Amino acid sequence: MTQKNPDPAQHPIRHRASGELRAVALEQFSAVGFAGTSLQQIADAAGYSKSSVLYHFVSKEALLDEVLTPAINCLEEIVDRLASSAGTAQTRSEFIDEFIDFLLEFRLEVNTFINQGQSLRGIGVIDRAGRLILRLTSALRGDDTSTIDGIRFGMALGGAAYTLVAGATYFPDQVSPEEEVRQALQSVVTELLAPVPLRRPIEGK
Amino acid sequence: MTQKNPDPAQHPIRHRASGELRAVALEQFSAVGFAGTSLQQIADAAGYSKSSVLYHFVSKEALLDEVLTPAINCLEEIVDRLASSAGTAQTRSEFIDEFIDFLLEFRLEVNTFINQGQSLRGIGVIDRAGRLILRLTSALRGDDTSTIDGIRFGMALGGAAYTLVAGATYFPDQVSPEEEVRQALQSVVTELLAPVPLRRPIEGK
DNA sequence: ACGCTAACTGACCGATCGGTCAGAGTCTGC
DNA sequence: GCAGACTCTGACCGATCGGTCAGTTAGCGT
């Protein structure tokens, strides 16, 4: 992926604990929040001591940073690609494909940032993500900054973050095969982000 | 300090502090989360002591309960009305109007519940809200529990919760007059929730 | 055998957490 | 004047927070 790996072949167990801790921490951060997760909880859930957590990560914030960075790196590549493309319907459609894949792969990371990003300002990776979101919006909706387009983008982002994590809690009726979720998500996000040609003026009220 | 309450003698200064604390607590809960908010922070922000907070509310959980209850009561009325109505396009449209008003009036409460509801189970009002959401989904999508409809509803709910609170942080370019936001929101939510018969031509290549 | 180093841990620290309690100040009705 | 209720507070409690540190392992090159 996007991590520095001097010699991947000869590092079998080397960073096993580090990876386990990252995975456990991500689940906790997304489920109960960064502030609501204690280092002790993470350590217990991963089967280590609190001291071990602080051995692998210099601080709780650094742990959050490392946990979210791979997702932000991936998003950055997507935004770069979108920004350097022609604004055709074709490139837009390609972007949506990539974006959906990103949402599905990093759903916990996205949920963590979307739900708590505003309260975690000052942490490196959070600010970086915030800047990326701004770049993404301006790349998507060029100059016209209409209210409706802003809301459409926010709904797509916040809605996906909620649906893919918290939503599954309330609608666990079907564990919907991944591919089915993907198609549904793509359909809805496309509706929201694509410049829909004709939209009836909501009936007179 | 603050103003001498100039409101009717019917409701004297009796519960002034209580109301201030509720308002401050709601902002904090929505902004930094329930776990991330300390009673001391709430007390400081409201200009009281921590002991005062615990005088008006028997516990932190009880404070959350009282803060969210008005919103849940309002939502319950809306769901009751929807459930007892005929499933016509007309009643559906009326529901959406009420729902949008609800989202706008109680945006902080909705945001709090949507973002943290899963981690706050066991608190009375949270469980009640969870049951209401389930009732709402079943009232909206009768028997057909398709993946796409579940996602559409989740996107509308989670997207609105995000857009109306956190989203405003990232897109503060316009403080969009309330009425404009309302129309945009109604347009998008209608698209998402209304059983759109035919909305496929997005691939405008 | 040795020493070096990465991995890991318990004991401990000051700060803060939610919560309890014994009052102090203020207002009212008698 | 005074009793009582209401509002508010500081002092205090045990638990837990994020974080530090000295020390114990186990593996590896020499």
- The tens place of each residue's pLDDT in chain B, 205 residues long, gives 333 333 333 344 457 889 999 999 999 999 999 999 999 999 999 999 999 999 999 999 999 999 999 999 999 999 999 999 877 888 888 999 999 999 999 999 999 999 999 899 999 999 999 999 999 988 887 666 677 888 899 999 999 999 999 877 666 656 678 888 899 999 999 999 876 544 444 443 3
Kindly state the tokens that stand for A126.
Answer: 């959070």
Buried b (16+ CB within 10 A) or exposed e, B135-163: bbbebbbeeeeebbbbbbbbbbbbbbbbb
Cβ-Cβ pairs closer than 8 A, A with B, add up to 187
pLDDT score, position A147? 78
* B13 lies in the same domain as B102: no
pLDDT score, position A195? 62
Kindly state the tokens that stand for A104.
Answer: 């599905």
pLDDT score, position A6? 37
- Count how many residues are written for chain B: 205
* A89 lies in the same domain as A159: yes
pLDDT score, position B16? 83
Cα distance between residue A26 and residue A115, in whole Å = 13
* Nearest nucleotide relative to A35: CA against C1': D17
* B127 lies in the same domain as B189: yes
**Contacts of residue B148 in chain A, CB cutoff 8 Å?**
183-184, 187-188
Distance from the Cα of B160 to chain A's closest Cα (Å) equals: 6
Domain annotation covers residue B200 = no
Task: List the end-to-end C-alpha distance of chain B, in Å, as a whole number.
Answer: 62
pLDDT score, position B126? 96
Domain annotation covers residue B199 = no
Supply the pTM of this predicted model. Answer: 0.86
Separation of A123 CA and D11 C1' (Å): 36
Closest CA to A153 of A105, A114, A180, A181: A114
Whole-Å CA distances, B20 to B14, B39, B54: 12, 14, 14
* Nearest nucleotide relative to A54: CA against C1': D19
pLDDT score, position B174? 60
**Cβ of B203: how many Cβ atoms within 10 Å?**
10
Domain annotation covers residue B204 = no
**Contacts of residue B110 in chain A, CB cutoff 8 Å?**
none
Domain annotation covers residue A44 = yes
* Nearest nucleotide relative to B61: CA against C1': C18
Nucleic strand D near CB of residue A83 (< 7 Å): no
Kindly state the tokens that stand for B131.
Answer: 């049951």
Cα distance between residue B194 and residue B182, in whole Å = 17
Domain annotation covers residue B2 = no
Cα distance between residue A22 and residue A24, in whole Å = 6
* B44 lies in the same domain as B85: no
* B165 lies in the same domain as B90: yes
Domain annotation covers residue B202 = no
Closest CA to B106 of B177, B23, B35: B23
* B91 lies in the same domain as B142: yes
* A53 lies in the same domain as A72: no
Is B147 in contact with A117 (Cβ distance < 8 A)? no
pLDDT score, position A11? 42
For B138, nearest residue in chain A (alpha carbons): A171
* A174 lies in the same domain as A87: yes
Separation of A181 CA and C25 C1' (Å): 63
Would you say A105 and A74 are in contact if contact means Cβ atoms under 8 Å apart?
yes
DSSP state of A172: T
* A53 lies in the same domain as A92: no
pLDDT score, position B7? 33
Please name the residue whose C-alpha is nearest to the C1' of nucleotide D8.
Answer: B52
Chain B residues 38-77 with Cβ under 7 Å of strand C are 38-41, 50-51, 54, 58-61
Residue type, B120: L
Q: Which residues numbered 127-186 in B keep a CB inside 8 Å of some CB on A?
A: 130, 133-134, 137, 145, 147-148, 150-163, 166-167, 169-171, 173-174, 176, 180-181, 183-186
Domain annotation covers residue B178 = yes
pLDDT score, position A85? 87
| Overall domain count for chain B | 2
Q: Which residues of chain A are modeled with pLDDT < 70? A: 1-14, 142-145, 169-175, 195-205
Closest CA to B24 of B124, B137, B108: B108
Would you say A65 and A24 are in contact if contact means Cβ atoms under 8 Å apart?
no
| Domain that residue A72 falls in | 67-193
**Position of tokens 């769901």?**
B79
Q: Is the dihedral of CA B100, B106, B109, B111 positive or negative?
A: positive
Domain annotation covers residue A204 = no
**Contacts of residue A185 in chain B, CB cutoff 8 Å?**
151
Nucleic strand C near CB of residue A45 (< 7 Å): no
Q: Which residues numbered 27-66 in B keep a CB inside 8 Å of some CB on A?
A: 31-36
Q: Where are the alpha helices (DSSP H) in chain A?
A: 16-32, 39-46, 50-56, 60-83, 89-105, 107-116, 124-140, 147-164, 166-170, 178-193
Would you say A128 and A69 are in contact if contact means Cβ atoms under 8 Å apart?
no
Separation of B51 CA and D13 C1' (Å): 14
Helix (H) or strand (E) holding B27: helix B16-32
* A26 lies in the same domain as A94: no
Buried b (16+ CB within 10 A) or exposed e, A125-157: bbebbbebbebbbebbbeeeeebbbbbbbbbbb
- CATH number for the domain harbouring residue A40: 1.10.10.60
* B110 lies in the same domain as B25: no
Kindly state the tokens that stand for A60.
Answer: 């709780």
Would you say B61 and B123 are in contact if contact means Cβ atoms under 8 Å apart?
yes
pLDDT score, position A178? 84
Chain A residues 55-74 with Cβ under 7 Å of strand C are 55-56
* B15 lies in the same domain as B86: no
Residue type, A101: D
